[in-house]
Each structure stands twice: as C-alpha cells, then as structure tokens.
Structure 1
C-alpha cells in the first residue's frame, strides 16, 4: 500500500490462452468419403504462458466451434491492450499536473516540482519563508510564471543609530547613502559614518546579506545585521597666532580634535582652554607658538618650540623616551638647530603563544557481554591542546619580520569511547489472552494509525490496500522503518496485539510505527509504546545494534 512496487492484476499471469482452432483445408478434388489429411495448425503467438500443443482437428468439425476458438484468441489481445492502458494511466496519475519551478534566492538556486497555482503557495510548499521587504518576482499573489522562474532578492537587516535614535529596518538599498535617505537622515560636512564599528564613506556599498538558500528570514552569524551609526561633527574656531580657521570635528576633546586635524600642539605653546577640555558647539581655541622644532615619533609629528640645547633635552621636554632598542636621528647628543626635525624609531619584539584545541573522536565499539540497546561510556572524551610560539619585530608599529619559534603538543586529545551491547536474550511475555510468547528485543516507539484510505491512493488504484510486502492492509499489518525493525518481523504492540512488519511509509522514520486498521474501523493512535520483537531472533548480521535516536520521547 505504501510501496511503489507494481503488482500485476489478479488473475492475469495465471490464465492460459486457448489455442486457435485449426483451419479446415478444402479442395476442389475432395470427393472421397474419407476426410483429407489436415496439416498441423500454426504456432500461436505467445501471450502469458505458452499453450500446450493442440492435436489436429478433423476438417468436418462444425463452423461454430471454429469461430469460438478465434474469439478466445482475440480476447487475449484485448486483455494485453487493457494492461498497457492501465500502466499508462498509473504514470499519468503520478506525473500529471506537476510543474517544474526554479527558485533563485540571490545567488543560490533550487528546483522543485509542484501542483500549486500561485507563487505564495509554491514557496510555502517548498518551505521557503520570506520577509515583507524581500523582493519577490513575480508577486506572491501572481500565478506561477510560464517559464517556471521565481526570483527572490533578500532584504538586508540593518540597525541605524543617529541623533540619539536607534532604528531597526530591512532594506533593498545598495549603499549607505540610500539607507540614510530612506530614514530621513542628512549628513553634514565632516560627519562620520561607521559600518559595523568601522569608519567608512557614505557612498560605500552595503555588503551582500549572506543568508542560506531557503532561509531568507534567518540571520547569519552575529544575526547578519549591519550596524550603521552617524557621529555628528561640531564646529570649533581656531586662532593660531592670529590665523583664524574653523574646524569641524567628531573628537571628544580639544587636544584630540587638533591632532585629528593635523594641527600639532607642543610643550611650550600656550593653548587656551586646556587640551583636555571637552569639545562643545562653537568653542574657540587660542594658540600662541614658541621656537620651532619638530619630532616624528609614534606615527605622528610633534611641532613645538623649545629652549633646549640638545636633541636629548628636546626629547625629554616633549616626554619622548628611548627604550630598549629605540633610536633617534639626529643622535641624542647632537645640538639643536632651527627647525630641527628629530625622527624617533620605536623597536619592539613580541612573543605570542597561540593555543589550538584538538578535538577528540567518538568511537562506538561492540560489547558481546552487554545486552542489546545497552550502552556504557567506557572512556570520556577530552580535548587536547597544541601550542605555537611566534616572534614578531616591529619598527614604529610596522611589522618588519615574524616567524614561528617553536610548537608543541601541550595535551593530546582523549577519545570518547562508547560500548554498545550485541547480546540477544530471549524473555517470556504473557499476552492478554494468557498465552506466553518469547521476545528478543523491546523498543520504545511512537505509535500512530493508518488505513488503506489514508495512504494517499484512490480506491480504484491498482495498488490500493497493498503493502510494501504485497500484503493486504488492515489490522495486524504495521509500517516500520526497516533500519529499526526488519520487514517481515513478528511483533507485539500492547493495546493493539500481534502484528507483522509488512509495510513502510514516507513519514515512518526512526523510532516510529504505523498501526494498520480497516478503513471502517480505524482508531486514533499517537503515543509512545513498548514494542516487543517476537522470537525467533534473526542472525546477528541482520540486527542493527545501534538504533536511530529520533524522534525523542518527551518525559513528563
């Protein structure tokens, strides 16, 4: 009933086709009282079984009997035509009405076969969810396109933070500028835009939203959401020795604002207010310069004025210290000259130890001393550790050289070993009628019910009511997963009775069993039961010692 194997119509392969009667041989010279010799009839065409040889028939048989033999021969030909039409009908019922649809989700593509009429119903049947902002062509309400192509462009999930507000959206925009325009956010000069915490340009393109095919509503790692934030620039008026300029900045203090703008302030310069003063709207900074000198150190140039006599004193004035293998050009002992530029190179070495976890392996080993379905953890798995030591040399923060110093296994991984039982033990089971039978295995299965009428085949279908093993569906025939219970096994189900595993089903997977009932007496079943596999037990090579672990029974 739940199998796709074809079963020949009852009675077809067992009928013998009557042989064609021999044709009377007549002759113009036939005047003798004895009948003339009759030749052997021609060999009949093969139908289903070869008919036995037919002795020659006397030529004086009545004409009516000859016509009856021709009738039986034509009946076989008609029967063969009917069987061919039945097979063509079965193929039409299976394939008729199904259309091929190609669904393209961004750069990924999948193909389905469906009988649905609209785009929405086809996506629902394929298990493909969507969001309101996703771009679907043709529209959801439209009929399936003739070319069978459906395209989905996923909307990108974003979080926009600007002017104290946080907005969560999904968008089809391709640039940050378009996202800001959609949310009525206007950028001013020197405003800064950050994408996922990194400074970027407003006209930068949005990264593609990386979702899996068939899961447009699911976010990827870190929720797949793009975070866009806008930091507003504030105007500052700078009076630098009488030169007035306006600076827009997003920095927090005046000192960092000047540094960001490339306006270096050194010890000896007079700055009002102090460099640590927070930036406010329309703030004014007054700078009075001293003697000119410059120091290039730590990726910046310090322009200052100084009364020092040597390079060493200048560096001390600015708080620049040479440590370890650091060096300066000119040398620290050289005298100060006007507009001197001192270049300080920072040299440092870094040693980094990286630890890599080594995964353990899980091993399942049979144990003949344990009964079936018994498991024992013989050894708990533990991860190992592998260490690597790297040395890097930097000058002014720039990597000059790096290399692996050494590596070693800090701790080897330990395998996770599980022993499972293979021992078959026969036990007695008392049935409700008082009889005692033996069983060799008890399995906890989720039991449901079915009948021929619920199998998805019409009553006029040739296989209606036929099971996978060719049995008649009904009480006493159950559907199982052959990986759990072998087909043909005898078993006992409490509340149902004895049965034969004679059928399979598309939804009968893992620890499930479908109990057969007549069409007019089907019962409602959906509960976990202990199923007993009755003796005799099959050979050990036919027993699956490790069963599937799904579905999982929820303990109350």
Structure 2
C-alpha cells in the first residue's frame, strides 16, 4: 500500500490535470463562439471600381460605408453608384462605383461644362444628345478615352456656293483651304482659267481658309477664232457716154474675209452665265474686191409738159405695151437697194426705175410709164414675168399707194 502522503500527491496531480483540461476546453469553446460571432458579421462582395472588378470581404453595413472603407472620395452629385448609397449590404452582392469627369465642350463660340461617367467622348456625346455632323470636326478624336478633366472643341461644317457653269451649294469641313476644296471637289482648272473668291481673284493654289457662305467663281478662259466678212467699197466713176441719172456696173464687188481670234471668258454668277470676248489678233484671209459703177454725166434736155402729154397719148416714139404694174421700195429690212444695173436706189432715191422681164422690155431701156413718167428699165425680179413691171418709189407709203394697176408703157429706145 502506498503511503498516505503519496496518495495525496497523486490525487493533487490528477486534479491539476483535470483542471488544466477543463480550462483548455472552456477556452476553445469560448474562442469558437467568439470567432463564429465575428465571422457572422462579414460579407463577401463583388466590387467594380471604375471598371475594374475584384472580390472583397467587408463588415460594412451599407454601400456608403463600403466606399468609405475603400477610401473613395465620393462626388455624390456626379459619380455613378449602384446600388444607392443607403442600400444595405448583403453577402455576394455586386457594388459598382464610377467617378465622374468634367468635360468642357466648346462649339460655335459657346462653352458648356459636362460631368460624365462615360468611358469615351463618343459615349458622352451620345448620352448628352450632341450630334457630330458629317462635316463637323471634334478635337480630340471622338474615340478618345475620358480620363480626368478634358477640353473638347467642336467645329461645325460650313457651306460655300460654287459658280462653275452652274450654281451649286457645297458643304465642307471648317478650316478647309481653297486649294484643298478645289481638289476635294475634283474641279479641273485649265492653264488660263481663273479663280475668284467672293469679290477678288486669287491664285489657283490659294491656301486661304474658307468661311461659311463664301462664294467661289470659276472663270473659264478659252480662245475662239471667228471668220467675219469684210464689206467691199463702192467706187463711182463719171461716164460722159451715159445720160445723167444712168449707171452701169463696170466691176462687181466681192466681200473679203477676216479671221479674228478672241480670248473668251465665260463666268456664271447670280444673274446667270456671261461671256466676255477680247480681241487678241485679226488677220485678213481674203481681200475685198471693189465694186465700180459708171455714173452718167451726159445732160439730155427734158421734154416740156406739152411734149410729155403728147408722147403719153401718141403712139409715136416707140413700142407701146399694156402691163400689170406693182410697186417696190429700197427702204425695207434686208433690202440692199442695188438694182441689176448697179443703180444704188438708197443713194439716189429720186431716180425712177422699173423692174422688168428682159424678154419683154430690154434691160437698160428708157421707158415712159403711164402715171409714173420717164424711167429706166434698170432691174429685174423673181416675180416679174411677161407683161408685168414693178415701179420704184422712195418710201413704203408711196409704194403701197400705187397698189396694183394696169398701165400703158412706151419703150422709147
């Protein structure tokens, strides 16, 4: 048997072991419950921060507390937060935060500040309903990523009017030079053509920047050669063998020809298309031939009134015919006034001349016509055939007054 002292020592030792085990058990249980209580307040979330996604653990109770926990300086007025700041957090929730950026847009002389969370300028413009036209330009490019504060400039397209044989309104981008515009529109300019911007002529390769409502005029310049007739001169020569008032053509006249070369400028403007011709040179290609007329100077004593009356009623002095008579004048549009014998009726309106059929009354004969007097058969006509004559009067009214009548004609020689 063990001594009592030893038994007491063994009992004390066992008590110490039991006490230690109980303490360890109690502490473990306490630690377990404490950890369980702590873990029950944590949440695992998907957090998307400015487009970057991550998984985090948090004990925050609301979205606002979560952002504060993440040291995010929130702009409540402009930043984008989903869900709202007051939303209570739950396990496996997704929270999004995107900071807003300030973009200053300048357009047509005005500026506006836009706060946006869009990723690119194109997205921002679409969100705000700002349209970029086909001929508008934006700086920087619409595909530029928005990162921090930005300044954006929009330059609107312009309209110019081109007068190139016809009027045409054309849209183009701002800051387009005249030279660039001409090339863009495929306007072909020849060596001598000219370019006008508004009211001034400019070089064809002008780098002048176009403005809205500018007007561009194309002057088309070419050369043209035209053959024009040269009138012949009429020369009169005295002839004593002819009675005064009689004429005879000694040489027929012929027109000449002259080649004239012009610089022709064609321009279209608000009033239409105009052509300006400037003579460069002229060359005679055919010399004209003078017309020479013999003018009688021989004076023949005129019969007295009684002799005229006697000759008008007598069958003596020549062959007598009865003919139909009409009248004509040289003072009409297109009439040259030169008879078949070369008598210039415009220069000698007092000369009495009749047109005849030469087969009936010989051309050049002196005649007496009832109601008209002494005259010369000095002309023919396409409508004068047989016993028909056409008497000359200086004026239309006299010719009309003669009308159509049957008269007696006496051929004197």
Common fold by TM > 0.5: no
Q: Which has the larger radius of gyration?
A: 2
Relative to its length, the structure with more strand (as a share) is: 2
- TM tier, shorter chain? 0.3 to 0.5
Higher helix content, 1 or 2: 2
TM-score, scaled to structure 2: 0.42
Superposition TM-score, scaled by structure 1 size: 0.32
